[in-house]
Amino acid sequence: MNSTTLDNASLEFPPYKSLSNDELSARIERVRRDLGKRLLILGHHYQQDEVIAHSDLRGDSYQLSKLAAESSDCRAIVFCGVHFMAETADILANRPEKLAERDGERVTVVLPDMAAGCSMADMAAIDQVEAAWADLGEVIDTSRVIPVTYINSAASLKGFCGRHGGIVCTSSNAAAVLDWAFERGDRVLFFPDQHLGRNTSLKMGITNDQMPVWNPY
As a whole number, mean pLDDT of residues 53-69 equals 88
Helix axis angle, 194-203 to 174-184, nearest 10°? 80
Strand (E) or helix (H) holding 187: strand 187-191
Contact 39, 54 (CB under 8 A): no
What gap in Å lies between CA 92 and CA 71, rounded to an integer?
Answer: 10
pLDDT class for 115, splitting at 50, 70, 90? confident
Residue 194 scores a pLDDT above 60: yes
Domain segments of the chain as ranges: 16-110, 121-210
Is the per-residue pLDDT at 14 higher than 80?
no
| Among the listed residues 79, 75, 64, the one whose alpha carbon sits nearest the alpha carbon of residue 99 | 75
CATH 3.40.50.300 applies to domain 16-110: no
How far apart (Å, rounded) are the C-alpha atoms in residues 80 and 189? Answer: 31
Domain 16-110 and domain 121-210, same fold? Reply is yes
Q: What is d(CA 191, CA 152) in angstroms, rounded to the nearest whole number?
A: 10
Q: Tell me the one-letter amino acid at 87.
A: E
**93 in Cβ contact with 70 (< 8 Å):** no
Computed on alpha carbons and rounded to an integer, the radius of gyration of the chain in Å comes to 20
pLDDT band at 120 (very low <50, low <70, confident <90, very high): confident
Residue 87 has pLDDT above 50, yes or no: yes
Task: Please give the pLDDT value at position 122.
Answer: 87
The Cα-based distances of 13 to 10, 19, 147 in angstroms read: 9, 12, 43
Distance between CA atoms of residues 142 and 189, nearest Å: 10
Residue bearing the bigger pLDDT, 157 or 72: 157
3-state secondary structure of 54: coil
Domain 121-210: state its class: alpha beta
- Going by pLDDT thresholds of 50, 70 and 90, the confidence category of residue 2 is very low
pLDDT at 5: 47
Amino acid at 208: N
Kindly report which listed range (28-32, 45-49, 184-188, 213-217) carries the lowest average pLDDT score: 213-217
pLDDT over 70 at 165, yes or no: yes
Quote the DSSP letter at residue 173: T
78 Ramachandran zone, left/alpha/beta (phi>0; psi -120 to 50): beta
Please give the pLDDT value at position 119.
84
